[in-house]
């Protein structure tokens, strides 16, 4: 599949073009919401996959080896911290830093093996979340219920024909990237191939621990960011949503639990704003910067940002990052 061209109003009536884009966005956002979770609209591939991973994780304690456990721990860090938190979240979704080609490829590979969807799809959904956080159209709003925001939202079937339109609207900066399209097409083979490789290396224990346990733990760790940190915890900043900072989610999700900080300042590369808000993903970003694999890192803290007459630091940065997408994706 080739890259999707970003439409421009070079031909035709500009008002009609804007109306068409608005209608497309409205249609896309209408596909998110609990009302769409019906028996005739269930993504059974996702349901069966999640069921298989959880059954495998429950069986894992009966098939344990130290090699399998160690591999699971290492892969959990690589996929959850490097793949999800760093690459898909802070790099692709928010453009808080740039990566050299080797680090970018490694990050996208880790993101793919994480099994939370293709990097491009994950990023587009996340940008929608920030644009509509805790409002109608938020893909995993806690207003729709705790279980909805945690896992049920992933079970909703969506017309695959809408995906190019979603990419065009919400990740127009990513659709021109050939490496992104490589991992878009390779997602299934890489994920299944990883499971086969793990089984070949260490048999059933390796498959159950390094695939099932590792993925289930990462799934729920990152899903808690969608659910728990919009329900419990403390708020350092006043934001238009219900985002909160929750220490135990920060522990599970490599710093992503400082969620109110992130929603107040989504462009910053670090999620922890106080000395005790430990952010392991930020630490690895600094390491990549040290070895020359990360650059243009937005390493600022809120107090480093200039205040404006329009309402201070928070409003100044939020006005620039409203809509989240680093490009005009309207």
Q: Identify the H or E element spanning 294.
A: strand 294-295
Check residues 234 and 139 and name the one with the higher pLDDT: 234
With a CB cutoff of 8 Å and minimum separation 6, the contacts of 43 are 154, 155, 156, 157, 158
Q: Are 261 and 243 in contact (CB under 8 A)?
A: no
pLDDT of residue 203: 97
Task: Provide, rounded to the nearest whole percent, the portion of the chain with pLDDT above 70.
Answer: 86
The answer to whether residue 3 is domain-embedded is: no
The answer as to whether 21 is a domain residue is no
CA distances from 217 to 38, 146, 175, 261 (A): 27, 18, 30, 24
Mean pLDDT taken over the chain: 86
Residue 18 domain flag: no
Q: Which of 79-83, 134-138, 198-202, 234-238 has the lowest mean pLDDT?
A: 134-138
In a domain, 215, yes or no: yes
Give the number of domains in the chain. 1
Query: Is 196 part of any domain?
Result: yes
User: What local confidence, expressed as pLDDT, does residue 185 receive?
Assistant: 96
In a domain, 20, yes or no: no
Residue 107 to residue 189: CA distance in whole angstroms: 17
Segment 83-95 shows an average pLDDT of 97
Question: Could you tell me the two tokens for 94?
Answer: 């928010």
Residue range 233-287, pLDDT digits in tens: 999 999 989 999 999 999 999 999 999 999 999 999 999 999 999 999 999 999 9
pLDDT (average), residues 89-95: 97
pLDDT for the residue 328: 32
Pick the range with the lowest mean pLDDT from 109-113, 139-143, 232-236.
139-143
* Residue 224 pLDDT > 90: yes
| Nearest CA among 153, 140, 166 for reference residue 43 | 153
Beta strands 98-99 and 294-295 are: antiparallel
pLDDT for 321 beyond 60: no
Eight-class DSSP state of 287: H
Q: How many angstroms separate the CA atoms of 1 and 310, rounded?
A: 45
Exposed (0-12), middle (13-18) or buried (19+): which is 237, by Cβ within 10 Å?
A: middle
> In angstroms, rounded to a whole number, what is the distance separating the alpha carbons of residues 161 and 195?
29
How confident is the model at residue 95, as a pLDDT? 96
Higher pLDDT, 194 or 310: 194
How far apart are alpha carbons 174 and 322 in whole angstroms?
A: 19
Number of residues written out for the chain: 330
Please choose, from the candidates 223, 118, 107, 126, the residue with its C-alpha nearest in 3D space to the C-alpha of residue 170: 126
Statement: residue 319 has pLDDT above 80: no
Percent of the chain at pLDDT exceeding 90: 68
The whole-number pLDDT of residue 162 equals: 80
**Residue 155, token pair as written in the block:** 């079970």
Please name the residues in contact with 169: beta carbons below 8 A apart, sequence gap of 6 or more: 21, 24, 25, 28, 124, 329, 330
Residue at 22 is within a domain: no
Res 330: pLDDT: 29
Average pLDDT over residues 145-171: 86
> How many whole angstroms separate alpha carbon 178 and alpha carbon 4?
11
Cα–Cα nearest to 82, from 118, 117, 106, 99: 106
For 274, the domain range is: 30-321
15-70 pLDDT, tens digit each: 554 556 677 777 777 777 778 788 888 899 999 999 999 999 999 999 999 999 99
Report residue 84 as tokens. Answer: 């999800």
Q: Answer whether residue 12 is part of any domain.
A: no
Cα separation, 140 vs 127, whole angstroms = 12
- With beta carbons less than 8 A apart as the criterion, state whether 253 and 85 touch: yes
């Amino acid at each position: 599949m080739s890259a999707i061209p970003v439409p421009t109003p070079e031909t035709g009536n500009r008002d009609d073009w804007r109306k068409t884009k608005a209608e497309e966005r409205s249609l896309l956002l209408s596909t998110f919401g609990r009302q769409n979770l019906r028996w005739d609209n269930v993504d059974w591939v996702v349901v069966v996959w999640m069921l298989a991973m959880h059954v495998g994780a429950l069986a894992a304690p009966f098939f344990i080896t130290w090699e399998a456990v160690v591999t699971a721990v290492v892969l959990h860090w690589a996929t959850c911290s490097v793949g999800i938190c760093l690459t898909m979240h802070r790099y692709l979704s928010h453009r808080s830093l740039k990566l050299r080609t080797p680090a970018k490829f490694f990050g996208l590979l880790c993101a793919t093996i994480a099994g939370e969807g293709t990097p491009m799809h994950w990023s587009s959904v996340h940008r929608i979340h920030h644009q509509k956080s805790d409002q109608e159209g938020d893909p995993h709003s806690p207003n729709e219920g705790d279980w909805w925001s945690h896992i049920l939202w992933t079970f909703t079937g969506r017309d695959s024909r809408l995906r190019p339109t979603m990419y065009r609207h919400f990740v127009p900066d990513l659709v021109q990237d050939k490496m992104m399209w490589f991992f878009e097409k390779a997602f299934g083979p890489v994920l299944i191939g990883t499971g086969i490789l793990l089984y070949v290396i260490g048999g059933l224990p390796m498959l159950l621990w390094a695939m099932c346990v590792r993925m289930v733990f990462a799934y729920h760790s990152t899903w808690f960011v969608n659910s728990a940190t919009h329900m419990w915890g403390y708020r350092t900043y006043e934001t238009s949503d219900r985002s909160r900072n929750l220490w135990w989610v920060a522990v599970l999700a490599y710093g992503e639990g400082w969620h109110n900080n992130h929603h107040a300042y989504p462009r910053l590369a670090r999620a922890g704003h106080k000395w005790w808000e430990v952010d392991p993903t930020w630490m690895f970003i600094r390491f990549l910067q040290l070895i020359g694999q990360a650059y243009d890192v937005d390493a600022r803290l809120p107090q480093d940002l200039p205040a404006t007459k329009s309402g201070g630091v928070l409003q100044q940065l939020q006005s620039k990052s409203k809509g989240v997408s680093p490009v005009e994706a309207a």
